[in-house]
Homo-oligomer: A and B are copies of this chain.
Amino acid sequence: MRLTTKGRYAVTAMLDLALHEGKGPISLADISERQGISLSYLEQLFAKLRRNQLVGSVRGPGGGYQLNRPKAEIDVAEVIDAVNENVDATGCNRRGDCQSGEVCLTHHLWCDLSDQIHTFLSGITLADLVERKDVKEVSIRQESRQSEKMIATDIRAASGL
């Protein structure tokens, strides 16, 4: 089992989409800036999210990505799964054969742990996250940061740079 920035990035980006739902397609450049994730890396992650039918894309200017389903119907476990981070703690993919074809001493322990984690993560949807106080706070901070930057670039543009 592993849970690294890859899975965290994927969930963060999907949550960003959920937060800006209804404003039309969101470009990866926007997400990259707001969430501090490399644009090229996001492209790779969204390729997988798209293949797993979690998001849809619109190409060309004004294009971007949108959730393919209502945010209340996308859970965190799915998102992590889509980018190939499996939250399975066993060494045998639950097959029970990691000790030369037979079940090892601790197999059931890891199965229990996997169930625990999966139950937790699949019980949380993007809609749940959007409603959380801490998420709202961070989101507000990110929005104001972004508009500050936009104003700064506007000034620079207006002054002829």
The docked-state distance in angstroms from the alpha carbon of A85 to that of B5 is: 16
Q: Is the CB of B8 within 8 A of A110?
A: yes
Residues B141 and A102 in contact, CB atoms below 8 Å apart: yes
Most buried by B among A1, A16, A36: A1
A117 interface residue, CB < 8 Å from B? yes
CA distance A108 to B28 in the complex (A): 23
Q: Is A4 located at the chain interface by the 8 A CB criterion? A: yes
Please, how many residues of chain A have a CB less than 8 angstroms from a CB on the other chain? Answer: 41
* A91 and B36 form a contact (CB under 8 A): no
Are A109 and B129 in contact (CB-based, < 8 A)? yes
* 8 Å CB interface, A115-161 against B: 116-117, 120-121, 124, 129, 132, 134-135, 138-139, 141-142
Contact B11 A106 (CB under 8 A): yes
A47 beta carbon closer than 8 Å to chain B: no
Contact B15 A106 (CB under 8 A): yes
With the chains together, A39 CA to B131 CA distance in Å?
Answer: 51
A44: chain B residues within 8 A (beta carbon): none
Interface set, chain A 67-94, CB cutoff 8 A to B:
76, 89, 91
Q: How far is the CB of A62 from chain B (nearest CB, A)?
A: 24
A138 to B134, CA, bound (A): 46
* Contacting pair A100 B36 (CB below 8 A): yes
Q: Given that A2-B3, A91-B5 are known contacts, is A116 also in contact with B113, CB under 8 Å in the complex?
A: no
Q: When chains A and B are docked, how far (Å) is the Cα of A112 from the Cα of B123? A: 13
A49 to B85, CA, bound (A): 28
A131 to chain B, nearest CB (A): 12
